[in-house]
Amino acid sequence: MSAIYVLDRVKLRPGGLALYQQALRERYVPGALERGMELIGSWVTPPVEVEEGNELVTLWSLPSIEAFWAVRSGSDTGELETWWKESDQLTLSRERKFMTKVEIS
């Protein structure tokens, strides 16, 4: 099976873009990289900070379904739960999708 992609969409509280980006960079990204996730890219929409709050989208990849399950059953689940709980204070909502590439003919 091909790579597994993890798409995170986080709706941020107004004025919280920079704070969330910093927290993500300092608290989540290092552990994600250690777990074997690769950050493909990150995007913000709309492309300028707005009063209503922005949405931050990140796309990660894992090389295989086995790597995906290894991450899901990892030993640092307590740290991850703490991260998500604390980061929720900066967000209005969040959504995570798991995907794999398919051919459309």
Distance CA 2, CA 5 (A): 10
Give me the residue label for tokens 């590439």. Answer: 101
7, pLDDT greater than 90? yes
13: left (phi over 0), alpha (psi -120 to 50) or beta: beta
Residue 23 pLDDT: 94
Beta strands in 1-78 (DSSP E): 4-12, 38-45, 55-62
How many CA atoms are closer than 13 Å to the CA of 95, on its beta-carbon side?
5
pTM listed for this prediction: 0.87
The residues spanned by each domain of the chain are 4-100
Q: How confident is the model at residue 80 (pLDDT cuts 50, 70, 90)?
A: confident
Note the pLDDT tens digit of each residue in 22-35: 999 999 999 899 98
Report pLDDT digits (tens) over 96-105: 999 999 889 8
Separation CA 13–CA 37 (nearest Å)? 26
Q: What pLDDT, on the 0 to 100 scale, is given for residue 75?
A: 61
What is the fold, at CATH topology level, of the domain defined by 4-100? Alpha-Beta Plaits (3.30.70)
